[in-house]
């Protein structure tokens, strides 16, 4: 069987998966083949050979985490201080979420830009966020469960945030009739321009070096 990029280029792997490069440089969307039958379904949400072919580098999984959210919950825009930096692979095992990748890397050709993918239990689509790229999502249904593969450990003092409601980003996070539900940390997070002025945003060249070293 083959892996097929959105460009139509085939490559060997264990199960058909469509790969699409997102508008943020180095970020990808993966849509796997789902195998349903009378018992339910089976799907492979991450394959190292297919990932390496698409991205050009490996992705060592250091830990796996999950979050569960009610409809209207917004989590993000989160990123990791660089160094040490962290890459993430995100999928939705239950419910639906609008998932965003936000380029926070100073010097990146797509700095300040974002792209979005709807993740859910129907497609089991996933997103890959390279080192230095911010992550935020809004849960579209109750009991939305997000699964994160991470390239490094969670260290509280390294985890930073930019406001998801920053008008400069203009992320469409508000659902009809539902006010965003956010943590105190995310409500108090600086806007992108404030984070840039404070010098807390990742450096693009450093992020690329750390990415190649994964």
| Residues annotated as catalytic (active site), given as ranges | 78, 148
- Render the burial of 131-143: b for 16+ CB within 10 Å, e for the rest: bbbbbbbbbbbee
Cβ neighbourhood burial of 76 (10 Å; 0-12, 13-18, 19+):
buried
H-helix or E-strand spanning residue 20: strand 17-21
CA angle 76, 26, 190 (to 5 degrees): 30
H-helix or E-strand spanning residue 137: strand 133-139
CB atoms within 10 A of CB 27: 23
Instruction: Give the pair of three-digit tokens for residue 18.
Output: 């469509």
Phi-psi region of 95 (alpha: psi -120 to 50; beta: other; left: phi over 0): left
């Amino acid at each position: 069987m083959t892996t097929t990029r959105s460009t139509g280029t085939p490559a060997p792997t264990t199960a058909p998966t469509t790969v699409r490069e997102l508008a943020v440089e180095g970020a990808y969307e993966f849509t796997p083949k789902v195998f349903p039958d009378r018992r339910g379904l089976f799907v492979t949400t991450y394959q190292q050979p297919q990932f390496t072919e698409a991205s050009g580098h490996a992705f060592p999984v250091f830990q796996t985490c999950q979050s569960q959210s009610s409809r209207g919950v917004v989590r993000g825009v989160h990123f990791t201080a660089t160094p040490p930096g962290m890459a993430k692979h995100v999928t939705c095992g239950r419910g639906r979420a609008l998932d965003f990748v936000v380029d926070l890397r100073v010097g990146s050709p797509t700095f300040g830009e974002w792209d979005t993918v709807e993740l859910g239990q129907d497609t089991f689509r996933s997103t890959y966020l390279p080192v230095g790229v911010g992550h935020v999502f809004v849960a579209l249904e109750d009991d939305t469960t997000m699964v994160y593969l991470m390239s490094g450990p969670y260290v509280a003092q390294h985890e930073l945030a930019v406001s998801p409601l920053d008008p400069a980003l203009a992320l469409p996070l508000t659902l009809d009739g539902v006010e965003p539900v956010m943590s105190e940390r995310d409500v108090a997070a600086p806007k992108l321009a404030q984070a840039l002025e404070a010098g807390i945003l990742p450096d693009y060249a450093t992020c690329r070096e750390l990415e190649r070293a994964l």
